[in-house]
Amino acid sequence: MALPEIFCLISGALKQTKFVLQGLEVDAQRMRANMDITHGLVMSEAVMMGLGPFLGREYAHDLVYDLCRQALAENRPLIDILEAHPQIRPHLNRSQLEALCNPENHLGQAGVMVDRVLAARQPG
């Protein structure tokens, strides 16, 4: 594919993205409620990464996957199952697990990027 064709595709994609995002309204409370519906399952990757240094990444992945299935089967919050697990307890306490399960601790560079966009839009 030639460079002008690539620019045309990107331009079209950006135009559609702008159209989709123009009407977007962020409802932070609703977003948090939607995340909380999962009882912590949405944060399972962060937990797995937090356990990786102690248990090994692959084993931590398999363990957290199994515990997520248990949380679903028992309709229990994932954090309660994690805290009670004998292989996790020696490495992470409740407070540490809560930090791993808190989505607000996993925003990465989102705030920085938003600030840059807003600064670029402000005149002079």
What does DSSP assign to residue 41?
G
Residue 2 lies in a domain: no
Q: Say which residues have a Cβ less than 8 Å from residue 64's Cβ, sequence separation at least 6.
A: 44, 47, 48, 51, 82
> Does a structural domain hold residue 43?
yes
What are the pLDDT digits (tens) for 77-120? Answer: 999 999 999 999 999 999 999 999 998 887 777 778 888 888 88
What is residue 124's predicted lDDT score, i.e. its pLDDT? 60
Residue 70 lies in a domain: yes
How many distinct structural domains can be found in the chain? Answer: 1
18 domain residue, yes or no: no
Query: pLDDT tens across 32-55, in order?
Result: 898 888 888 999 999 999 999 999
Helix, strand, coil shares of the chain, percent, nearest 5, are 75, 0, 25
- The CATH number of whichever domain residue 97 belongs to comes to 1.10.40.30
Query: What residue numbers bound the domain in which 71 lies?
Result: 28-105
**Residue 120 resides in a domain:** no
